[in-house]
Amino acid sequence: MGMIGGGPGAFIGAVHRIAANIDGEIELVCGAFSSNAEKSKQAGGQLYLTPERSYASFSEMIEKEKALPEDVRMDFVSIVTPNHVHFEPAKLAMENGFDVVLDKPMTFSLAEAHALKQVATQTGRTFCLTHTYTGYPMVKQARQLVASGVLGAIRKVYVEYPQGWLSTFAEGESSNKQAGWRTDPSKSGMAGCMGDIGTHAFNLAEYVSGLQVSAVCAELNIVVPGRALDDDGAVLLKFNNGATGVLMASQIAAGEENNVKVRVYGEKGGIEWQQQDANTLQVKWLDKPTEIYRTGTGYVSSYAAHNSRTPAGHPEGYLEAFANHYRNFALTVKARRTNNEPKPEWLDFPGIEDGVRGMAFVENVVKSGKSNEKWLPFTL
Amino acid sequence: MGMIGGGPGAFIGAVHRIAANIDGEIELVCGAFSSNAEKSKQAGGQLYLTPERSYASFSEMIEKEKALPEDVRMDFVSIVTPNHVHFEPAKLAMENGFDVVLDKPMTFSLAEAHALKQVATQTGRTFCLTHTYTGYPMVKQARQLVASGVLGAIRKVYVEYPQGWLSTFAEGESSNKQAGWRTDPSKSGMAGCMGDIGTHAFNLAEYVSGLQVSAVCAELNIVVPGRALDDDGAVLLKFNNGATGVLMASQIAAGEENNVKVRVYGEKGGIEWQQQDANTLQVKWLDKPTEIYRTGTGYVSSYAAHNSRTPAGHPEGYLEAFANHYRNFALTVKARRTNNEPKPEWLDFPGIEDGVRGMAFVENVVKSGKSNEKWLPFTL
Amino acid sequence: MGMIGGGPGAFIGAVHRIAANIDGEIELVCGAFSSNAEKSKQAGGQLYLTPERSYASFSEMIEKEKALPEDVRMDFVSIVTPNHVHFEPAKLAMENGFDVVLDKPMTFSLAEAHALKQVATQTGRTFCLTHTYTGYPMVKQARQLVASGVLGAIRKVYVEYPQGWLSTFAEGESSNKQAGWRTDPSKSGMAGCMGDIGTHAFNLAEYVSGLQVSAVCAELNIVVPGRALDDDGAVLLKFNNGATGVLMASQIAAGEENNVKVRVYGEKGGIEWQQQDANTLQVKWLDKPTEIYRTGTGYVSSYAAHNSRTPAGHPEGYLEAFANHYRNFALTVKARRTNNEPKPEWLDFPGIEDGVRGMAFVENVVKSGKSNEKWLPFTL
Amino acid sequence: MGMIGGGPGAFIGAVHRIAANIDGEIELVCGAFSSNAEKSKQAGGQLYLTPERSYASFSEMIEKEKALPEDVRMDFVSIVTPNHVHFEPAKLAMENGFDVVLDKPMTFSLAEAHALKQVATQTGRTFCLTHTYTGYPMVKQARQLVASGVLGAIRKVYVEYPQGWLSTFAEGESSNKQAGWRTDPSKSGMAGCMGDIGTHAFNLAEYVSGLQVSAVCAELNIVVPGRALDDDGAVLLKFNNGATGVLMASQIAAGEENNVKVRVYGEKGGIEWQQQDANTLQVKWLDKPTEIYRTGTGYVSSYAAHNSRTPAGHPEGYLEAFANHYRNFALTVKARRTNNEPKPEWLDFPGIEDGVRGMAFVENVVKSGKSNEKWLPFTL
């Protein structure tokens, strides 16, 4: 694996590396960690890479790695830069034959998303978008339960992602690199909160429910004075089967951590999952006791079982969920290179279509947020 | 106390009686339990009343009780009929000098609510509307904390009330008296879910936040085929201080019980309360550990302490919350009759203004639900 | 109902009165609230009793009430005095034809307990001992589940009751009447913590498991300097079917409220209940999801349903659990007086045998606590 | 790192490899995965090792690796074999200059533990014993809080580890390799449950409380017919400061996963931590609200902060706790090799002394379990 971005001060780069490391199947062999050549070499050195494979730019990395013998060169690219540097490296990597793991949201704009989808389609490359939460075993269990029909037709979806970390004008402190770029329209895109965590919530809702959003009514707010992008919002949702829903995302819910939660109700029961109790899935029924599904038990679906590493009761967390995407991506890549059929469980990672829909979500809710009309159709 | 309504098959009548009984300060002395004279006498008999004071109509009860000596006649009236029989008995009672406890929502329509307010003002009667949830000690603690300013200015309010009991066409079963009238526009009013539990959520949000809703964007749904009134909905909220919020209420969230929950976030922290863990109040902070306030402890406010009957750890529930309204109402009535000043803690029960705002909520969200405009001002 | 004890400053007297009031079926008609005639009249006056029926002693009350016409005199006696004043009034009441509700532990000593049992047997009076926790609907559900055999043979029982309220030398403050008598061997008996809350835990364990303790290995501690009785302890248990268990009780677990909890494990699964989430019963299984039983739902046993007053999700608490004992006692008394057979659900309240076993528990663990031998047989 | 044990079918070997991998600082370079040369090579191959460095025995591995150049040979040994193959490889490794990570319990017997301590002392090697639970950030926070004295002198310790996985005679199924050796006295040692998970609970109690057990009163049970070692037990504890405690461990608590939990109470408050909510530490107080400490927040101690990889709300789990021991061990080893002083936070991993005390725990409770005397002094 070669990494683009993720130098000093970056949060998500380290997460990607841990996620890739966990199973001992993926090795970091090179990187373009910074657009500053010196800084990139320094970062590479700290990660036990040689200066030769610590590149000054992603284009240099892709070019030089491509020139290496097949058994030496990187197998795929992991891109962990801010949003405005997603499209170019992903495109270049795929065009040069490299599979790609990309941090969410997929691109800077919906137009870029469509363009990237075209590149992926034309090159046939395997592509993974790291929407972490769908990597949790109990989220997979939830999706399987809904898909099995035991809850009946889905009627209602609630999804929420409250955070409190942007309750103050954190981007005013130069040391807060994270707050800096995530609230900067030139780097983050047209949305702040909705792009950063709203897309996670949206992806989670569609993944678990198996439905697609067809209309939105959004309210986006800039709560902290001086901020350039939305830091809070709520969206009423209509789904393609007639169900409705509510999506809430906030970065000014003071005291909240990363409290993402999803609830889906059908005719006969409902499911509830939240990250703070990630290894538990509540399944509620109209007429019998609530059931508590747990990671690592013997009764979970093959999807949940495949994405778990420890016996029941030994909690797995965020890094393992993240690692599941890497592992499934890698298993799929490996199978395809050896002309084998990837198992359905391996293919269950977020891909280019999730990315396009995520960017459509961003553009639709921003548009709706500015509109006086209540409902806007969800357009791609 | 004399009761209007609450005969056989009624749910809330029994709750009112228990709530009135708990503290041994209120005695049921008469009732008009049914519009059928025989049934009323029968119900009265089961409640240890004589046939003479088991009246055939509320008008008969008010008239005859008024004629009794002051130390014999009922002190106040408790009205627990369906919504369409709220206004008339409440008006008549007040006009004849009786104080009134009335089940929510206050009236059948906003017009009736305004009219009842006028009666209350003119007669000077004490009036209590039984929005149960603001009777919980930890809800009172939440309000006091917010009011004290420790959370800073309020920015966001989430309130939700998911139920699942109307997931099927329960009103089709003649035995289900509850489902019957609550989904019948001629008895319930112009809203179903929003009138029945949406008003509770609305009241709770305004009570805890100390704010008032100033605009709404509502989506109301009839999910179960054949139903005449909304059984689900969501409302985006704007508050008078610039804060925003989301209100969710559903009767088709299959598997949910009465899972009412409120969250309020300020600049420095937030509070969270939910009925399923009613004796706990979470207070979350930007920069220090979450605090868990508990009913019955030594450190709670005078409002929480006054509304609690057991030591910490011995849970109090719904009936005690309900009883708190009765007790505070009774203490206030008693004080006023003896020309004493009621304590501030006693006066903290929902009154006529809450009732007017609740009915305005119903009419505003029904109007918004039908409108293509996103935001409608909240009008009284 | 006539009450003995429960004057000003008493905690449990007020609880008994509320519990008796809740269902509107029991009326307080007289009392001997204090051994000081003036105080008793004052207390009675506050409870709306006439001076004539506010007696100066329990013997006076029993004598005078007995002389009243049957439809006027008290129906039964409720005794809420400290432990050293349990036996005499209970005996006298039963000998004079009154049924009895008595606060736990039953008597001052095991010898008194045996004597009281003899009185009860000879007089044929109905007797209820208020071990609150077995009044909770979900505790009854737990007992029924265990009894049904679905968990297989019972192998392990954990029961615990941690409190923190005696973490300091509270009996040193003259205002703390509760701490005063509960730590005073002349009023409380030979045990402190074990008599006050250990007996609750013991009763709960035997009730839910359906088993009887057959041997104990106890460690009793006086943790707070100057205290005269145990304020902490743990007991290893053997049961009559070969199962084992652990009982932990503490009054110096600083920060704990009244956190009583019981777990019972069989061959195929286990149950868990705790007062802090009183309306929930966890049923854990070897090979399928944990089930969450909830008060007020449609699927609970007739025992749980009978002992519940509100729909699911509207929590019931300590006072309702307490009231269930009163209600079942009253239903049983009423049935017997009218020569009807009480329903099995009505008879499910703690009685004289629970009281004897509870006092045997106290004496056995005190003896074991002083012994160097590991196991002592549980003797009655 | 070179691994001893951990071939196919082993559970804990994979856990160790993941834990070592996570931070990208430790590389598996060789192994003796099985005493069968062929199987070891096969296992090595699956882990991307060459046949040359997939050894047929630990002695071969140690000998051959020692002969390699310093920058090629393994840095340290990780031993993940069943208990009866702990002492020999650990001793040989240390005597040949290799630092050692060893799975718990440390040895087969207390005598071996003392002998190994002597080896460690004489060779000066760094030694880590993987008692997982003390690797959790919130367990470290708990220890720091207790050590800081804010809770006052410690009075009571409750520690419990209920599991249900040995509720049936699982060792009868040849496929269940885990159940097989863990219930076999020739491989596990003189204790089953107490050796496997009792030692974890014991270590956790001493670590968090900062105290040492000084006397025990143990009851050990073989619940499942046919089993050769204890599968359940409870131990009353005395600590060296006069505090008391209870330790409960069971493998027949049907329906429990790995529900390890510790509670420690001082004069002013108590702490509670349990693995099922691993990123939360409850701190309860006599006279103020319970505080909820959370992993990844800004207010935790340097020990908790150092042992955490994700922002608050993104849960970390068992593998990360395990990885913390590897990381701290590796940081310490690295510092010592470069003649630097390891930071106090790095040195906070379980070592040889924990191992000796753990084996003493096993022997003391087995002895006590067979004794009729109540208390036995805890002897080393």
Q: C9 pLDDT exceeds 80?
A: no
Question: What fold is seen in the domain A135-309+354-370?
Answer: Dihydrodipicolinate Reductase; domain 2 (3.30.360)
Assigned token pair, C98: 């009154």
DSSP string, A237-284: EEETTS-EEEEEEES--TT--S--EEEEEESSEEEEEEGGGTTEEEEE
Cα distances from B7 to residues B37, B58, B91, B106, B129, in angstroms, run 11, 13, 21, 20, 20
Is C377 exposed, middle or buried (CB count within 10 Å of its CB: 0-12, 13-18, 19+)?
A: exposed
With an 8 Å Cβ cutoff, are B24 and C18 in contact? yes
Cα distances from D204 to residues C246, D261, D273, in angstroms, run 20, 9, 10
Q: How confident is the model at residue C8 (pLDDT cuts 50, 70, 90)?
A: confident
Three-state SS at B327: helix
What share of chain A has pLDDT > 90, as a percent?
96
Pairing assessment for the beta strands D2-4 and D76-79 based on DSSP bridges = parallel
Q: How confident is the model at residue A158 (pLDDT cuts 50, 70, 90)?
A: very high
DSSP string, C264-301: EEESSEEEEEEGGGTTEEEEEESSS-EEEEETT-TTS-
Select the residue of C236, C268, C374 nearest D372 (Cβ to Cβ): C374
With an 8 Å Cβ cutoff, are C298 and A287 in contact? yes
Cα distances from D335 to residues B310, C363, D237, D339, D343, in angstroms, run 57, 60, 38, 6, 9
With an 8 Å Cβ cutoff, are B291 and D290 in contact? yes
Burial code of A116-134, b = ≥16 C-beta within 10 A, e = fewer?
bbebbeebebbbbbbbbbb
Is D57 exposed, middle or buried (CB count within 10 Å of its CB: 0-12, 13-18, 19+)?
A: middle
Q: How far is B261 from chain C (nearest CA, A)?
A: 12
Pairing assessment for the beta strands B213-221 and B232-239 based on DSSP bridges = antiparallel
Residue-wise pLDDT tens digits, A58-67: 999 999 999 9
> Torsion angle, CA of B30/B34/B36/B42, rounded to 10 degrees?
-60
Pairing assessment for the beta strands C232-239 and A127-129 based on DSSP bridges = unpaired
How would you classify residue C263: left for phi > 0, otherwise alpha for psi between -120 and 50, otherwise beta?
A: beta
With an 8 Å Cβ cutoff, are C292 and A297 in contact? no
Select the residue of D155, D252, D373 nearest C155 (Cβ to Cβ): D252
Q: What is the CATH number of domain D134-310+354-370?
A: 3.30.360.10
Q: How far apart are CA D190 and CA D213, in angstroms?
A: 20
**Please, what sign has the CA dihedral across residues C144, C147, C148, C154?**
positive
Angle at D165 between CA D163 and CA D166, to 5 degrees: 105
A117-121, B128-132, D181-185, range with the lowest pLDDT: D181-185
> Torsion angle, CA of C67/C72/C77/C80, rounded to 10 degrees?
-110
Residue-wise pLDDT tens digits, C127-144: 999 999 999 999 999 999
SS3 per residue for B32-66: ECCCCHHHHHHHHHHCCCCHHHECCCHHHHHHHHH
Residue-wise pLDDT tens digits, D75-88: 999 999 999 999 99
Helical segments of C74-130, H only: 87-95, 110-123
Pairing assessment for the beta strands D261-266 and D244-250 based on DSSP bridges = unpaired
Q: How confident is the model at residue A192 (pLDDT cuts 50, 70, 90)?
A: very high
Which residue of A280, A285, A291 is the best one to mutate when testing the C interface, meaning the one whose CB has the most C CBs within 10 A? A291
Give this complex's ipTM: 0.96
CB–CB of C138/C293 below 8 Å? Answer: yes
Q: How far apart are CA C20 and CA C1, in angstroms?
A: 9
- Which residues of chain D have a CB within 8 Å of the CB of B283? 289
Q: How far is D295 from chain B (nearest CA, A)?
A: 11
Q: How far is A15 from chain C (nearest CA, A)?
A: 32
- Residues of B within an 8 Å Cβ radius of C: 11, 14-15, 17-18, 21-24, 28, 47-48, 163, 165, 256-259, 275-279, 294, 296-297, 309-320
Radius of gyration (C-alpha) of chain D in whole angstroms: 20
Q: How far is C316 from chain D (nearest CA, A)?
A: 23
Q: B10 pLDDT exceeds 80?
A: no
Q: How far apart are CA B70 and CA B58, in angstroms?
A: 19
Hey, which CATH number is domain C136-310+354-370, 1.10.540.10, 2.40.37.10, 3.30.360.10, 3.40.50.300? Answer: 3.30.360.10
Q: How confident is the model at residue D7 (pLDDT cuts 50, 70, 90)?
A: confident
Q: How far is C270 from chain A (nearest CA, A)?
A: 14
With an 8 Å Cβ cutoff, are A168 and B286 in contact? yes
pLDDT, average across residues C185-193: 95
With an 8 Å Cβ cutoff, are A234 and B221 in contact? no
Which residue of A138, A141, A284, A292 is the best one to mutate when testing the C interface, meaning the one whose CB has the most C CBs within 10 A? A292
pLDDT, average across residues B179-183: 90
| CATH class label, B2-125 | alpha beta
Q: A292 pLDDT exceeds 80?
A: yes
pLDDT, average across residues A340-346: 98
Chain A partners (3+ C-beta pairs within 8 A): B, C, D
Angle at B130 between CA B126 and CA B134, to 5 degrees: 105
From the centroid of its chain, how far is CA C336? 23
Residue-wise pLDDT tens digits, A126-140: 999 999 999 999 999
Q: D10 pLDDT exceeds 80?
A: no
Assigned token pair, C279: 């309306």
Question: What is the pLDDT, as a whole number, of residue D8?
Answer: 76
Q: D308 pLDDT exceeds 80?
A: yes
With an 8 Å Cβ cutoff, are D265 and C254 in contact? yes
Select the residue of C289, C294, C298 nearest A291 (Cβ to Cβ): C289
- Which residues of chain C have a CB within 8 Å of the CB of B197? none
Q: How confident is the model at residue B105 (pLDDT cuts 50, 70, 90)?
A: very high
With an 8 Å Cβ cutoff, are C318 and B319 in contact? no
With an 8 Å Cβ cutoff, are C284 and D255 in contact? yes
pLDDT, average across residues A210-221: 98
- Which residue intervals of chain A bear CATH 3.40.50.720? 2-125
With an 8 Å Cβ cutoff, are B48 and C312 in contact? no
With an 8 Å Cβ cutoff, are B318 and C319 in contact? no
- Which residues of chain A have a CB within 8 Å of the CB of B222? none
Q: How far apart are CA B128 and CA B325, in angstroms?
A: 7
From the centroid of its chain, how far is CA C156? 23
Select the residue of C47, C257, C278 nearest B294 (Cβ to Cβ): C257
Q: How far apart are CA B376 and CA B220, in angstroms?
A: 14
Cα distances from A205 to residues A24, A146, A161, B249, in angstroms, run 31, 12, 11, 19
Select the residue of D283, D289, D294 nearest B293 (Cβ to Cβ): D289
- Which residue intervals of chain B bear CATH 3.30.360.10? 136-310+354-370
Assigned token pair, D183: 């219930």
With an 8 Å Cβ cutoff, are D255 and C267 in contact? no
With an 8 Å Cβ cutoff, are B290 and D288 in contact? no
Q: How far apart are CA D22 and CA A19, in angstroms?
A: 8
Mean pLDDT, all residues of chain A: 96
- Which residues of chain A have a CB within 8 Å of the CB of B216? none
Select the residue of D289, D291, D292 nearest B299 (Cβ to Cβ): D289
Select the residue of D22, D278, D312 nearest A22 (Cβ to Cβ): D22
Residue-wise pLDDT tens digits, D315-359: 999 999 999 999 999 999 999 999 999 999 999 999 999 999 999
Sheet containing strand D30-32, strands side by side: D30-32, D2-4, D76-79, D99-102, D127-129
Q: A9 pLDDT exceeds 90?
A: no
- Which residue intervals of chain A bear CATH 3.30.360.10? 135-309+354-370
Torsion angles phi and psi, residue B181, rounded to 5? -75, -30
Question: What is the pLDDT, as a whole number, of residue C373?
Answer: 98
With an 8 Å Cβ cutoff, are D254 and C246 in contact? no
- Which residues of chain C have a CB within 8 Å of the CB of B43? none
- Residues of D within an 8 Å Cβ radius of C: 151-152, 155-156, 158, 160, 162, 164, 167-168, 217, 219, 221, 223, 232, 234, 236, 244, 246, 248, 250, 252-256, 263, 265-270, 283-286, 290, 371-375
E strand or H helix at C187 = helix C185-188
With an 8 Å Cβ cutoff, are A298 and C283 in contact? no
Question: What is the pLDDT, as a whole number, of residue B173?
Answer: 85
Q: How confident is the model at residue D177 (pLDDT cuts 50, 70, 90)?
A: confident
pLDDT, average across residues A261-285: 98
Torsion angles phi and psi, residue B217, rounded to 5? -135, 105
Question: What is the pLDDT, as a whole number, of residue C178?
Answer: 85
Q: B177 pLDDT exceeds 90?
A: no
Q: How confident is the model at residue C370 (pLDDT cuts 50, 70, 90)?
A: very high
Cα distances from B166 to residues B172, B258, B283, D110, in angstroms, run 11, 12, 33, 64
Assigned token pair, D97: 């200059």
Q: Measuring CA to CA, which residue among A83, A79, A77 is closest to residue A65? A: A77
Select the residue of D244, D254, D265 nearest C270 (Cβ to Cβ): D254
pLDDT, average across residues D136-155: 98
Q: Which residue of B has its CA nearest to C27?
A: B24
CB–CB of C274/C282 below 8 Å? Answer: no
Residue-wise pLDDT tens digits, C151-170: 999 999 999 999 999 999 99
The residues pairing with C282 across neighbouring beta strands, listed in sequence order, are C272, C292
